[in-house]
Amino acid sequence: MDFKLHTTFDTLEPLAPAWNALVEKSVTNAPFLRYEYLSTWWSTRGGGEWQDANLAVITATQHGLLVGIAPLFLAINRDHEPALMLLGSIEISDYLDVIVPTDQHEAFMAELLDWLGSNYPFTWRALDWYNLPENSPSLGALKKDAERYGWAYTQEVYQPSPFIPLPGDFETYLAGIDKKQRHEIRRKMRRAEESGRGVRWYLIDKEDDLDAAMESFLSLMAHDSEKAAFLTEVMRSQMKASVHAAFRAGYLQLAFLDVDGEKACAYLNFDYDNKIWVYNSGLDRRFMDLSVGWVLLGYLLEWANNHQRAEFDFLRGDEDYKYKFGGQKRHVMRVKVTR
């Protein structure tokens, strides 16, 4: 494989179609690895998460074709070391990995570490990779190749990432969860529908409506004090840019629930690879009497089943409601290789 270091997205932009095509057949196919997402992430350094960082994307080609991408950047990590980290790290990108098909993964990883160990032009102390799916072959490959070099390898569970496998029928889905929770979901959805308060839910389907919709969404997020603190100006710009990028790429799902003509709740999801990825949400607590969060989530699960989506991924976090709706355990990992 021929490796090349990219320190600016200017040299990567011509590769965007090939990049996304490679993501779709990679060991980890997630919206957080697509070109439009990661280039947007880099433009704000993750909404300001990284003040000082240098782009270090490494591409691999064979016979002129793109066969692998290590989407990396160099920064001082949380352990105060110069580290090569995965683009998207850490807080706002739920699944990260190298971008390479399964049949070329082992060779790509071995040659990548050889290249990093002998050719990389800047000083680095560690590979510090967060949010690797627990079933990623990169875990075993990094361990094997670290041992080959005599480098230290550590692995830990970073966060839970619950998900719901979907049967393709809403009633079948409900029948498969706890009986008490099944009755609660049905009761709350029925109560909202019969409240006489003009409850309706809908998806934003026009980009012309997206800016106003995002202002409403961010206002709903800010009803939560922790989310309000999270929504700095640079983070707001990050989220708006990511949403536009996802819309143009065809996988944005921005849903609202209105009550009495006012926006009461919203979910920002990705509808990608036949799965729903639940990215963030917000609600107006004035409408808590109607359990608007549960009701909109119920509608979204009904939609996902009716549209034959295979999975409803809650992404990172172990909030209780995820398990009440039938979430199953899954985790993302942190792996660190130290020279």
Residues 269-315 have pLDDT tens digits of 999 999 999 999 999 999 999 999 999 999 999 999 999 999 999 99
User: Look-up: residue for tokens 């000083």?
Assistant: 123
Mean pLDDT of all residues belonging to the chain: 96
Let me know if the fold of 2-161+334-338 is the same as that of 163-313: yes
Note the pLDDT tens digit of each residue in 63-95. 999 999 999 999 999 999 999 999 999 999 999
Confidence band for 24, pLDDT divided at 50, 70 and 90: very high
Would you say residue 225 has pLDDT above 90? yes
Q: Using the predicted structure, report yes or no on whether residue 97 has a pLDDT greater than 80.
A: yes
Sequence-ordered alpha helix ranges (H) in 65-136: 102-118
Q: What are the phi and psi torsion angles at 295 (to 5°)?
A: -65, -50
- pLDDT at position 220 is 98
Portion of the chain with pLDDT greater than 70, in percent: 100
- The whole-number average pLDDT for the span 197-210 is 96
Q: Over pLDDT 90: what percentage of the chain?
A: 98
Encoding tokens for residue 331? 């985790």
User: What letter does residue 77 receive in the DSSP assignment?
Assistant: -
Give me the residue spans of the domains in the chain.
2-161+334-338, 163-313
2-161+334-338: CATH class: alpha beta
State yes or no: pLDDT of 119 exceeds 90: no
In the structure, what pLDDT confidence band is assigned to residue 118 with cuts at 50, 70 and 90? confident
Inter-residue contact 295 to 192 (CB < 8 Å): yes
Average pLDDT over residues 21-27: 98
Runs of H (alpha helix) within 25-169: 35-48, 102-118, 137-149
pLDDT at residue 235 greater than cutoff 90: yes
pLDDT number for residue 121: 74
Binning pLDDT at 50, 70 and 90, where does residue 229 land? Answer: very high
Three-class SS state of 240 = helix
List C-alpha distances in Å: 336 to 48, 86, 127. Answer: 23, 11, 6
Fold of the 163-313 domain: Aminopeptidase (3.40.630)
Q: Provide the pairing of β-strand 72-76 with 53-55.
A: antiparallel
In this model, does residue 120 exceed pLDDT 80? no
Identify the pLDDT of residue 247.
Answer: 98
Query: What's the burial of 66, exposed, middle or buried (CB within 10 Å: 0-12/13-18/19+)?
Result: middle
Q: Which amino acid is at 164?
A: I
Is it the case that residue 15 has pLDDT exceeding 80? Answer: yes
> What are the residue ranges of helices labelled H in the chain?
16-24, 35-48, 102-118, 137-149, 170-175, 179-193, 210-221, 225-230, 233-249, 292-306, 320-324
Q: Please tell me the chain's helix, strand, coil percentages from 3-state DSSP, rounded to the nearest 5.
A: 40, 30, 30
pTM comes to 0.96
Tell me: pLDDT of 122 over 80.
Answer: no
Q: In angstroms, rounded to a whole number, what is the distance separating the alpha carbons of residues 131 and 42? A: 17
pLDDT tens by residue, 159-173:
999 999 999 999 999
